[in-house]
Amino acid sequence: MKAKILTRSAVAAAVAVALSAGYVAGHNNVPAPQVISPATAAALMPAEAAAKTGIPDFSGLVETYGPAVVNISAKHVVKETSARSSRNQVPMDPDDPFYQFFKRFGGIPGFGGPGGPGGPAADRPSEGLGSGFIVSSDGYILTNAHVVDNANVVTVKLTDKREYRAKVIGADKQSDVAVLKIDAKDLPTVKIGDPNGSKVGQWVVAIGSPYGFDNTVTSGIISAKSRALPNENYTPFIQTDVPVNPGNSGGPLFNLQGEVIGINSMIYSQTGGFQGLSFAIPINEAIKVKDALIKTGHVDRGRLGVTVQGMNQTLANSFGMKSPQGALVSSVEPGGPAAKAGLQPGDVITALNGAPVTDSTSLPSQVAGLSPGTSAKVTVWRDKSAKDLSVTIGALKDAKTASAKANGGDDGGSAQDARLGVAVRPLTPEEKQNDSLSRGLLVQQADGAAANAGIQPGDVILAVNGQPVTSVQQLKSMVQRAGDSIALLIQRDDAQIFVPVDLG
């Protein structure tokens, strides 16, 4: 009876899809898609099915490559007391409808037992669940680094229920990619694709273990590419609207040809569950990490030694650029590769080895992909013209990545300046020494254009449109000669940033 209901539902769904697609096609003066039987559709790859029906059928893809997707269990021992304090949870009511769900799949948050309310403090095993996929028949598996982070025991379960103890070959937290190895042969594998060939709007499929439900299949479209995320500076993520939830981490993202183009890594959520935004690591980036981890156990990345920020039209106007493209250098690390090559604050990096730098978010991954010690050509916009510099790439360590964000602008004057709206004074010798600055004007008050741009008391004005400022009078003169906008380089806390100010 159950089988009949499922079959009937599938047939009904197929008819509904065909009618709906035909209605849309008829109202757009294009031919209605050909209606084919469910059996025929199942035999087609998604791209073929989409061409014939208008809607892709993923069953062929899942049947072919689903067995190469694995469930990963990562266990480690944690102190019960520290685990409870970090969660700060209230014991769950047994009448809560999710009580049995958590009891079975994830444990009951804050509920009883050793180390719980009324129970003795004790060490207890903590288990994390994730996904992965087999990339070679001799047992190499890709997943996320955060899935196996600090794990004492990693277990891999295949779709045929076989289980293996896995060895963590290496994990790279910067890219969130980890490589596992199990002792097995003749395993099913995925097919690796090229994410650069994918387009926004194309269908994609995820297979993984959300909330521990093995081999769950979800689908959606690519909603953006090369997406930069906060604190994730070296990965140009593929953004999708594929339903991805906890447990999907490390699983593959397939295109319509059945090729893996990404590793599902994270979601944007205010609830902890899927809310329409999920992000995948491009597989070409992950394969580079995999090869490095297998060969050397670590990943070498290039370093330029600059802090960069994004451009907008006001900044572009200030530097004499037609459009806001490139990465604006707000500070240069003393003695670093960029400083030795002659890069300066106020330079706008527009290309690296001839490849365009579209914005500040794309530059870190481009630089990180270069080998330390190699020479690179950096094209910058300086003094309203392009200039090429040769840089010897350094090695990236666990250095703090610059993230300059502000909307500010400044003016100088010993009293309030009518055009910019700031009151400034020179730095004292003590202030210069404490902040390691050789020059600058301290903002004491900000109103008008400066306040609208985000300038605030305590900021230190270092330059106007890339030209260093050494005195109050110099600042006033530069502002008077400026056009409708200027770019102020300021020091705020430990960061240097350019702030566009609209003077119009």
Q: Where is 469: in which H helix or E strand?
A: none
pLDDT tens digits for range 173-193: 989 999 999 999 999 999 999
Determine whether the annotation assigns residue 249 to a binding site. yes
The whole-number average pLDDT for the span 332-348 is: 92
> Looking at this protein, which amino acid is placed at residue 403?
S
The total of other beta-carbon atoms located within 10 Å of residue 303's CB is 20
pLDDT tens digits for range 271-302: 878 888 999 999 999 999 999 999 988 898 89
The total of other beta-carbon atoms located within 10 Å of residue 122's CB is 12
- Superfamily (CATH) of domain 422-502: PDZ domain (2.30.42.10)
Determine whether the annotation assigns residue 383 to a binding site. no
The whole-number average pLDDT for the span 76-87 is: 46
Residue 96 binned pLDDT confidence (cut-offs 50, 70, 90): very low
- Superfamily (CATH) of domain 302-395: PDZ domain (2.30.42.10)
Determine whether the annotation assigns residue 248 to a binding site. yes
Return the higher-pLDDT residue of 480 and 192: 192
Residues 6 or more apart whose CB falls under 8 angstroms from that of 240 comprise 204, 206, 220, 221, 222, 223, 253, 278, 279, 280
Return the higher-pLDDT residue of 435 and 1: 435
Asked if domains 191-296 and 422-502 share a fold, the reply is no
The whole-number average pLDDT for the span 440-452 is: 84
68-181 placed in CATH 1.10.630.10: no
What confidence score (pLDDT) does residue 131 get?
96
What confidence score (pLDDT) does residue 47 get?
61
Q: Which CATH architecture group holds 191-296?
A: Beta Barrel (2.40)
What whole-number distance in Å separates Cα of residue 298 and Cα of residue 296? 6
Return the higher-pLDDT residue of 445 and 413: 445
pLDDT above 70 for 203: yes
Q: Cα 196 to the chain's mean position, in Å?
A: 16
215 torsion bin: left (phi>0), alpha (psi -120 to 50), beta (else): left
pLDDT above 90 for 166: yes
Active site residues: 146, 176, 249
What whole-number distance in Å separates Cα of residue 21 and Cα of residue 430? 73
pLDDT above 50 for 415: no
Return the higher-pLDDT residue of 146 and 427: 146
Determine whether the annotation assigns residue 176 to a binding site. yes
pLDDT tens digits for range 18-74: 222 222 333 334 334 344 444 554 555 666 655 565 678 999 999 999 999 999 999
pLDDT above 80 for 319: yes
The whole-number average pLDDT for the span 143-160 is: 93
pLDDT above 60 for 102: no
48: exposed, middle or buried (C-beta count within 10 Å: 0-12, 13-18, 19+)?
middle
What confidence score (pLDDT) does residue 444 get?
82
pLDDT above 80 for 334: yes
- Find out whether 171 and 132 touch, Cβ atoms under 8 Å: no
Residues 6 or more apart whose CB falls under 8 angstroms from that of 77 comprise 123, 124, 125, 126, 152
CB burial string 51-76: b at 16+ within 10 A, e below: eebbbbbbbbbbeebbbbbbbbbbee
Q: What residues does 351 pair with on adjacent strands?
A: 356, 379
Domain ranges of the chain: 1-35, 68-181, 191-296, 302-395, 422-502
Helices (H) and strands (E) in the chain, counts: 13, 27
